[in-house]
Amino acid sequence: MPVAVVDAQSAHAAGVQRLLDSYRAVPATAPIRLAKSTSNLFRTRVQGQAQGLDPSGLTGVIAVDVAARRADVGGMCTYDDLVAATLRHGLAPLVVPQLKTITLGGAVAGLGIESTSFRNGLPHESVLEMDILTGAGEIITASPGQNADLFRAFPNSYGTLGYAVRLRIELDPVKPFVTLTHVRFHSMVDLVAAMDGILETGRLDGVLVDYLDGVVFSADESYLCVGRQTSAPGPASDYTGQQIYYRSIQHDRGATDDRLTIHDYLWRWDTDWFWCSEAFGAQHALIRRVWPGRYRRSSFYGKLMKLEQRFNIGDRIEKLNGRPPRERVVQDVEVPIARCAEFLDWFLRTVPIMPIWLCPLRLRGDDHWPLYPIRPQQNYVNVGFWSTVPVGSSDGATNRLIERKVGELDGHKSLYSDSYYSQPEFDELYGGDSYRAAKKRYDPDSRLLDLYSKAVLRR
């Protein structure tokens, strides 16, 4: 066994021991949560008294098995670090969420999605097994054949059943470049029909599709971004500097082409946090020239956003300009593709947020994931929208309106941001009975928060 692998395994084992030691240092009656400095959650949270566990030794790639096309990874390893390790071997995770600081454990416990999800589903579907620190303080290996109830309930549990310590995941071979075709549409019906066709056949105009997502700029301007892997040498665009990726998508013709390295394709959205960097001035031509490249990334914008929230800077500016405060609407929802055009038409009429991100999704297999029960063999579209709107007549008025509409259309929403469901509604949508059974078995003393408290009550 190579020395580097042995060293990584030893470092991981030491990290697991530190995590366990920190768990055992917490009084037996005290609640617990991870102590980590970064997060890709966008919920406001009441500051509680839970003591933090030390996950600092779980950030590494433990091993990459090139022949078997799989990797063993610490639960706090970021996709940035994982991709750097696997691309050296011409491999990548089956689904690489859009932002570099998303961790493997976070993507599985909280779900993730990207432009391979139309063929590879969600990140947890490529997990072969996990070591999980449960609320009871035990390290348990979970897989389809071992502690299968925990394995199935873990996705979308958001750390309320336990924390992923190690994950073994499948990898896919990738080529050095991605050629892109940005196809313009003038109606939501035509756009959705094209997505559905690719979901069903895996092809566009008879040519195999490797990556698929889309952007809606207005009711009559939307695009599918169709990617295909290639080994052919040639020039590639660079959107980590002065050029901005999402602006390159727009055009007046039927379709335009582009080309990126596989690395830059996987992180094409990170440089400008999709388009949200505009709120900080990072897309202004003069500001962008002096904005350091190392700070053009999602992690830095996230820090700026947290400062804005802490000091209510946005609301202060609105007040100075004689305008009401604003409600944060940061959401991803999954809508059955048969209802997607209806949802998009409603959203564009009702919610003043654009652009909108689209990511087609089909579960990879027939497995049932009770805490996020979207149906196997059914096509969905993830619709992402991230901005603010004027405050309405009640707390979270626009978010509540969106929740109701998504429910009417037999959809789901991710729980990484603010939610407003009642307990019965939440239980019906997010596997209440299955969750309670797993909670009773793996966190019998409720050392961890329950999912409703964490996702809706924001504790």
Specify the higher pLDDT residue, 382 or 47. Answer: 382
Which among 114, 341, 116 has a CA at the least distance from the CA of 222?
341
CA distance 142 to 218: 45
User: What digits encode the pLDDT tens for the residues 126-175?
Assistant: 999 999 999 999 999 999 999 999 999 999 999 999 999 999 999 999 99
Does 222 score more than 90 pLDDT? yes
The predicted-structure confidence for 341-389, as pLDDT tens digits, reads as follows 999 999 999 999 999 999 999 999 898 899 998 999 999 999 999 999 9
The answer on pLDDT for 48 being more than 70 is no
What's the chain's length in residues? 459
Q: Residue 167 has what pLDDT?
A: 98
3-state secondary structure at position 2:
coil
Tens-digit pLDDT profile for residues 418-451: 999 999 999 999 999 999 999 999 999 999 999 9
pLDDT band at 43 (very low <50, low <70, confident <90, very high): low
Could you tell me what percent of the chain has a pLDDT over 70?
96
Please state the rounded mean pLDDT for residues 217-234. Answer: 97
Q: What is the CA radius of gyration of the chain?
A: 22
Query: Which phi and psi angles does 107 have, rounded to 5°?
Result: -65, -30
Q: How far apart are CA 270 and CA 245, in angstroms?
A: 10
- Please, what CATH class does the domain formed by 3-174+440-455 belong to? alpha beta
Q: Could you give the angle at the alpha carbon of 281 between the alpha carbons of 223 and 330, nearest 5°?
A: 55
At 458, is the pLDDT very low, low, confident or very high (cuts 50, 70, 90)?
Answer: confident
Confidence check: pLDDT of 3 > 90: no
Average pLDDT over the chain, rounded to an integer: 94
Q: Six-digit token pair at 129? A: 């097994």
pLDDT in tens, 83-118: 999 999 999 999 999 999 999 999 999 989 999 999
Sign of the four-CA dihedral 92, 83, 181, 258: negative
Which has the closest alpha carbon to 170: 92, 107, 62, 111? 92
What pLDDT is recorded for position 309?
A: 81
CA angle 403, 407, 410 (to 5 degrees): 145
pTM of the predicted structure, to 2 decimals: 0.95
Between these two residues, 267 and 306, which has the higher pLDDT value? 267
Measured CA to CA, the distance from residue 134 to residue 138 in angstroms comes to 5
Contact predicate 376/367, CB 8 Å: yes
Res. 391 pLDDT band, cuts 50 70 90: very high
> Is pLDDT at 4 greater than 80 in this prediction?
no
Q: Which residue has the tokens 């097994």?
A: 129
The pLDDT of residue 324 is 85
pLDDT at 419: 96
- Name the helix (H) or strand (E) containing 425: helix 423-429
Residue spans of the domains in the chain: they are: 3-174+440-455
Q: In the chain, how many H helices and how many E strands?
A: 16, 18
Q: At what angle do helices 337-350 and 188-201 cross, to 10 degrees?
A: 150
